[in-house]
Amino acid sequence: MVKKTMKMKRVLQCALFGMIAVGMSTTVSAQSSELEKVMTDRGLTQQDMLAAAKTYTPSGKLDEYYVFSSGGQSGQVIVYGVPSMRILKYIAVFTPEPWQGYGIGDVESQKVLDGGKMRGKTITWGDTHHPGLSETNGEYDGDYLFINDKANPRVAVIDLKTFSTTQIVANPIFKNEHGGAFVTPNTEYILEAAQLPAPLTNEYVSLDEFNEKYRGGMTMWKFDRKRGKISVKDSFSVELPPYSQDLSDAGKKISEGWVFCNSFNSERYVGGFGPGNTKYKDRLPHEAGMSSKDTDYLHMINLKVAENLFKEGKTTKINGHDVLMMKTMVENNALFLIPEPKSPHGVMIDPTGQYLTVSGKLDTHVSVYDFKKMKALIDAKKFEDKDPYGIPILSMKDSLHGQVELGLGPLHTQYDSVKGIAYTSLFVDSAIAKWDYLNLKLIEKVAIHYNVGHLVAAEGDTVSPDGKYLIGLNKLAIDRFLQVGPLHPQNHQLIDITAGQPMKLIYDMPLPLGEPHYAVMIKADKLKPIKRFKQKWFKHRVRPGREGVIRDGNKVTINSTLIRSHFSPEMIELKVGDEVTWHITNLERAQDETHGFSIGFYNINGSIEPGETNTFTFTADMEGVFPYYCTEFCSALHLEMAGYILVKP
């Protein structure tokens, strides 16, 4: 024991000597003994010190990677840096967010949120699951991020120049989704697959007609890179059977032009468990009936053919949206099924585009499919069977490269920079398996705390993964952090996956903002965020000296500017019933000089960033005196940055 401590001391001193310039030996030994004291006091091991050295990022130093994580039920996206695991931003997406002035009185952001109305109804939250980065030739390019909302089938576009949401599109035919947002190798399309089947129209249809009238599907949202927007009119969907479609992935390299999506409940079982059901009383629970068969189906869609069929007008309009019916897809050899181990979660395509990994949650195996074999079967028209909707089924045996037993509850897979190496999360085992999907063997496992869902490796779903870092997105934290009551944060655990070394867990990060599902990790130098807006980008910008209040009947336009530390104009008299349009330009050029703008009682709060112009609209429907002020501590005289609106009867 004593020997061990002595040895450790020496190792540490050596390490420290190495880090600090020679010739300062008194300082070094002082620091070395301080380091030893800290280790003793805090009960840290040498392994802990090494992990700290790998993650600690001194003040002023920047991270190597950005992670964009879904924010689950918060309806937002979480941004943090790797390896420090420091949280950088919560990007407001589907949920109004006051600090970013998102959806709290500002016209532009309200327009974005309004794009996400479902059948005319305003939705104030989302269940974000899978962020997807824009790609060029299968590589992340750092321009855009997309994310889906599982609860209210929608997809959002986030501009990575400003890290803000610029568009939300509502799915016109799905009632629920999950398999989005996945991006094709040149961001031509963003994929969104349905999950719980429902009629594609908006009518009531009895559950007795589930097999005949309930449907799944996949929407191909066309991305217009020039405009940085999804072009709704150039987007279409493919009708799919009422199997619960799960995750999707777009083919790359040799599988480019194909889309894959797995599914569960190909039994098409609808339960009725527990007292109080008004339909199907006393049936087995939904979940039991959903996993009675040994296999479900992996869907294979020929996107190139589907795109041509859409362009040729072979679609059916449903809710005004173009849908390619299954029959059309089958007639044109564009839709196939392959059995996969039951209740799978995720299909992930390897960097070469040839191998697809599918994990059956209820199986200990992970199945590796070979695209070349699948394609050969399709080309030879060698089908094993047809499903009840006439879709050809390929032989599972003939499509498989092989299967590997990894452990209990395999879910999701990411790839390494080393050829043939993959990482798969094991939910039940609370572990991550490193394995060789070419030679079909398990290499090692690392324990995770606890119940890992998705995992993300650096650029781990691109054509050239980076290796180095892997993060387990754990569902439970249990005892890892200080207790904060019964609702615990999630735990993102950073793992060092440097090639040639055993995997090492090096950091725990609590994430207390909904339950993240998937995340993507991109090299930081690929992003080029702006530091300030150009004033000329805004149609309603207010130039200094041109401020003022213009009244036209009860329509009042206020043109304001902001600069440290005053609003101009400051005192504004209104009358009850005035419809107010308030343009505010932040004249600042200095980095990080954001001004806030809030009016109490009127539910208005904005964030006006350097160079930006925001427009706020409201009806002055309350008589009284309402102070307004800047909500950012922008300067020493920040408290003085205020004014009044005085609403006369």
| Nearer Cβ to ligand K7E (347/377) | 347
- Verify binding: residue 634, ligand CUA, rule CB under 6 A: yes
123 binds, among ligand CUA, ligand K7E, none (CB under 5 to 8 A by kind): none
| Nearer Cβ to ligand K7E (193/574) | 193
| Nearer Cβ to ligand CUA (547/632) | 632
> Taking contact as CB under 6 A, which single stretch among the options 111-119, 396-404, 444-452, 632-640 is the one that binds ligand CUA?
632-640
Applying CB under 6 A, which of residues 104, 160, 170, 247 lies at the interface with ligand K7E?
247
130 binds, among ligand K7E, ligand CUA, none (CB under 5 to 8 A by kind): ligand K7E
Closest CB 342 distance from ligand K7E, rounded Å = 16
542 binds, among ligand CUA, ligand K7E, none (CB under 5 to 8 A by kind): none
> Taking contact as CB under 6 A, which single stretch among the options 22-30, 77-85, 380-388, 626-634 is the one that binds ligand CUA?
626-634
Distance CA 502, CA 473 (A): 20
C-alpha torsion 244→427→355→263, nearest 10: -10
CA atoms within 13 A on the CB side of 550: 9
- Verify binding: residue 454, ligand CUA, rule CB under 6 A: no
Closest CB 595 distance from ligand CUA, rounded Å = 4
Applying CB under 6 A, which of residues 63, 508, 579, 632 lies at the interface with ligand CUA?
632
- Verify binding: residue 299, ligand K7E, rule CB under 6 A: no
| Nearer Cβ to ligand K7E (371/518) | 518
- Verify binding: residue 78, ligand K7E, rule CB under 6 A: no
Applying CB under 6 A, which of residues 252, 321, 401, 454 lies at the interface with ligand K7E?
454
The tokens for 312 are: 């040729």
| Nearer Cβ to ligand CUA (359/631) | 631
505 binds, among ligand CUA, ligand K7E, none (CB under 5 to 8 A by kind): none
Distance CA 91, CA 607 (A): 13
Distance CA 430, CA 474 (A): 9
Distance CA 102, CA 434 (A): 41
Ordered DSSP codes for 563-624? ETTEEES-EEEEETT-EEEEEEEE---STT--EEEEETTTTEEEEE-TT-EEEEEEE--S-E
- Verify binding: residue 595, ligand CUA, rule CB under 6 A: yes
| Nearer Cβ to ligand CUA (601/633) | 633
Phi, psi at 188, each rounded to 5°: -65, -40
634 binds, among ligand K7E, ligand CUA, none (CB under 5 to 8 A by kind): ligand CUA
Query: Total residues at the site for ligand K7E (CB under 6 A)?
Result: 11
641 binds, among ligand CUA, ligand K7E, none (CB under 5 to 8 A by kind): ligand CUA
336 binds, among ligand CUA, ligand K7E, none (CB under 5 to 8 A by kind): none
- Verify binding: residue 178, ligand K7E, rule CB under 6 A: yes
- Verify binding: residue 566, ligand CUA, rule CB under 6 A: no
CA distances from 614 to 260, 509, 633 (A): 42, 35, 19
Distance CA 426, CA 407 (A): 6
- Verify binding: residue 130, ligand K7E, rule CB under 6 A: yes
Distance CA 451, CA 627 (A): 50
Closest CB 128 distance from ligand K7E, rounded Å = 9
Of the candidates 193, 242, 236, the one whose C-alpha atom is nearest the C-alpha of residue 323 is 236
| Nearer Cβ to ligand CUA (168/562) | 562
- Verify binding: residue 411, ligand K7E, rule CB under 6 A: yes
Q: Other C-beta atoms within 10 Å of 90: how many?
A: 20
Phi, psi at 640, each rounded to 5°: -80, -10
CB 474 within 8 A of CB 449: yes
CB 379 within 8 A of CB 388: no
Query: Total residues at the site for ligand CUA (CB under 6 A)?
Result: 7
The tokens for 50 are: 């090494």
Write out the binding residues for ligand K7E, residues 493-532 only, by CB under 6 A. Answer: 517-518
CA distances from 527 to 370, 391, 479 (A): 34, 43, 36
The tokens for 76 are: 């937002």
Residues, the chain, total?
A: 649
Distance CA 403, CA 141 (A): 33
Beta-bridge mates of residue 79: 68, 89
Instruction: Report the side by side order of strands in the sheet with 452-458.
Output: 452-458, 467-474, 490-497, 504-511
Applying CB under 6 A, which of residues 98, 126, 392, 453 lies at the interface with ligand K7E?
453
Applying CB under 6 A, which of residues 168, 630, 645, 647 lies at the interface with ligand CUA?
630
Write out the binding residues for ligand CUA, residues 321-360 only, by CB under 6 A. Answer: none
Binding residues (CB under 6 A) for ligand K7E: these are 129-130, 178, 247, 345, 411-412, 453-454, 517-518
Binding residues (CB under 6 A) for ligand CUA: these are 595, 630, 632-634, 638, 641
